[in-house]
Amino acid sequence: MNAFPPVGAHLIAGDWVTEGAAGTSLSLNPAHPDEPVGDYPIGDAGTASDAVGAAVEARPSWRSLPFGARARILEQAARLFDERADDLALLCTLEEGKTLAESHGEATLAAETFRYQAAIAKMSSERIFPNNVPGETIRTVRVPLGVVGVITPWNFPLLIPVWKLAPALAAGNTVVWKPASDTPLLSVAIARLLVDAGLPDGVLNLVLGPGSMGGAMVADERVDGVTFTGSVPVGQRIRDVVTARNGRVQLELGGHNPCIVFDDADLDLAVAGAVGGAMGATGQKCTATRRVIAVGNVHDELLEQMAAAVEVLQVGDGREDGTEIGPLVSAGARTEVAEAVDVALAEGAEAIVVNSTAPDGPCYYAPTLFSGTPDLTICRDEVFGPVSTVVRADSEDEAFALANDTEFGLSASIFTNDLWRIDRAVHELEAGLIKVNAPTTGSEIHAPFGGEKNSSGHAAREQGDTALDFFTRTRTAYIRPGTRR
Ligand code: NAD
């Protein structure tokens, strides 16, 4: 990276714009909010409009570039993600708070995603069909969607943007990207990397600022499609705006992911999976384990062992050796978690263990394990923090019913060695990701990712080769030879 941290700036039509139409703001380190990471400009609706204009302008030349040339730029981006992994990981930890190991994991998978999507771009996705008319060929081609709006959250500030940017660019689209306000400088570093990899001016445009600026971008008729990851209410608003103007929209939203543990499970594996799934990345994963459903006799021992594991987690600054759980992303996020815990206690949840290693600071929250009943608010609403609840089920049927009793359907896991049960889980758990003897969290970049119910929209899955489906339009061509002269 040329400078660390990079200078906060929008990227519009190849120019780095440091002036903010709506002023400037500070990016804070949640481990030490009194030590700002840097400042950045705040854009407004006009900034978003300029960026969309740049993307419209760059569209014809980018889409007509041979796919091999586009793929070479993506491959170079992958190399740069590997080369700059240390700096990117440090910046991710400074702005988001997660541990350096977690941030490194994102940088590695970002490189992998660019490499994979570059390879996909080189594979033919055309099809030829038989035809009843002699001599006529039916052929489908994929054309880029056009100008794509990318809106991303702060919790995976390196990887989630890349899940979207890599396939969007590989397919020949131009992009306007609005990242979350908590992680602006990391977004600048990613955009800078892509420019260094050879992206022509205007192909990727980055605008920094509040949600309202994203709102202006999604309402812009020149934006052909919007891919969004974030909270349910914002996603639903974006869906309504984009579909009302007949644009295409992809949504990845919240979750309330269950983990069912049966008495035939490997208990060590189940404890590690349930605790890691709940507390990893300070519980700020859309796929985090929010409810652990202990079936029958396993309940007491599971609760006891989970409590012991939560108690010894080391909370601290994500940059320090030995830290397993960093701070929450902001003081505001901490307030939301604390309020949800107060409600849980008032409703009768029992706090089995509250970790005591968290340092003082406005963004730290002690990992907490509850024992409770499924009707608690904390067992229904997504609480984005290191908090999980163990509930009891008396039978397999009850466990499956409890797991599905949620408006969400992102991920679900089951710990058992019973093959019949596993097969039942794969077919009956209402979630886009089913994990067997593994935590609800974690996914591979070459397999489709997405949820059901209120966790996702209805567009194509992200990641894997299905990612291309959202970012392209299919055209069917009927090609008949004319009369020979
Ligand atoms: P958020 O919805 O508050 O913000 C997400 C993005 O939308 C940010 O860039 C924000 O600035 C922007 N935004 C806000 N209002 C907007 C508007 N009116 N129009 C356009 N854009 C707007 O979410 P967050 O707090 O950043 O992220 C946490 C949420 O994201 C959690 O609910 C989590 O479950 C979810 N999430 C889901 C997945 C998934 O793959 N399903 C992955 C990660 C996070």
Q: What is the pLDDT of residue 211?
A: 97
Domain of 161, CATH number, reads: 3.40.605.10
Q: How far apart are CA 327 and CA 358, in angstroms?
A: 8
By residue range, what is the domain housing residue 290? 257-436
Q: For residues 316 and 357, is the Cβ–Cβ distance under 8 A?
A: yes
- Res 333 pLDDT > 90: yes
Query: Which whole number is the average pLDDT over 266-288?
Result: 98
Q: What is the pLDDT of residue 291?
A: 98
Q: What is the pLDDT of residue 125?
A: 80
Are residues 471 and 351 part of one domain?
no
Query: What is the tens place of the pLDDT at every residue in 359-387?
Result: 999 999 999 999 999 999 999 999 999 99
Residue (of 50, 61, 57, 460) closest to 220 by Cα position:
50
Residue 108 lies in a domain: yes
Residue 88 lies in a domain: yes
- Res 124 pLDDT > 80: no
Q: How far apart are CA 116 and CA 464, in angstroms?
A: 8
- Res 2 pLDDT > 70: no
Are residues 231 and 99 part of one domain?
yes
| Ligand 1 atom, smallest distance to 209 CA | 11
Taken in order 459, 462, 465, 470, the sign of the CA dihedral is: positive
Are residues 139 and 166 part of one domain?
yes
| Ligand 1 atom, smallest distance to 241 CA | 19
> Which of 253, 289, 335, 433 has most ligand 1 atoms within 8 Å of its beta carbon, as the pocket-test mutant?
253
Query: Which whole number is the average pLDDT over 161-169?
Result: 98
Q: What is the pLDDT of residue 425?
A: 98
Residue 94 lies in a domain: yes
Q: What is the pLDDT of residue 482?
A: 86
How close is the Cα of 117 to the center of ligand 1, in Å? 24
Residue 449 lies in a domain: no
Q: How many CB atoms lie within 10 A of CB 412?
A: 32
Q: What is the pLDDT of residue 5?
A: 87
Query: What is the tens place of the pLDDT at every residue in 438-482?
Result: 999 999 999 999 999 999 999 999 999 999 999 999 999 999 988
User: Can you read off the two tokens belonging to residue 13?
Assistant: 């039509």
Q: Whose CA is nearest to atom 42 of ligand 1?
A: 286
Q: For residues 180 and 154, is the Cβ–Cβ distance under 8 A?
A: yes
How many structural domains are present in the chain?
2
Beta bridge partners of 294: 261, 392
Q: Lowest-confidence range among 1-15, 327-341, 433-447?
A: 1-15
Residue 377 lies in a domain: yes
How close is the Cα of 151 to the center of ligand 1, in Å? 8
Residue 452 lies in a domain: no
Q: For residues 150 and 176, is the Cβ–Cβ distance under 8 A?
A: yes
Are residues 265 and 208 part of one domain?
no
pLDDT bin (cut points 50, 70, 90) of residue 89 is: very high
Q: What is the pLDDT of residue 102?
A: 98
Are residues 109 and 30 part of one domain?
yes
Domain of 351, CATH number, reads: 3.40.309.10
Q: What is the pLDDT of residue 403?
A: 98
Q: What is the pLDDT of residue 44?
A: 97
Average pLDDT, the chain: 97
pTM summary value: 0.97
| Ligand 1 atom, smallest distance to 286 CA | 34
Give percent above pLDDT 70 in the chain: 100
pLDDT bin (cut points 50, 70, 90) of residue 160 is: very high
Q: For residues 112 and 78, is the Cβ–Cβ distance under 8 A?
A: yes
Are residues 161 and 298 part of one domain?
no
Query: What is the tens place of the pLDDT at every residue in 283-298?
Result: 999 999 999 999 999 9
Q: What is the pLDDT of residue 485?
A: 79
286 is a catalytic site residue: yes
Are residues 468 and 421 part of one domain?
no
Are residues 341 and 238 part of one domain?
no
Residue 447 lies in a domain: no
Are residues 344 and 261 part of one domain?
yes
Q: For residues 173 and 148, is the Cβ–Cβ distance under 8 A?
A: yes
Q: What is the pLDDT of residue 121?
A: 85
Q: For residues 146 and 58, is the Cβ–Cβ distance under 8 A?
A: no
Are residues 145 and 190 part of one domain?
yes
Are residues 164 and 66 part of one domain?
yes
Query: Which whole number is the average pLDDT over 125-144?
Result: 92
Are residues 364 and 246 part of one domain?
no
Residue 445 lies in a domain: no
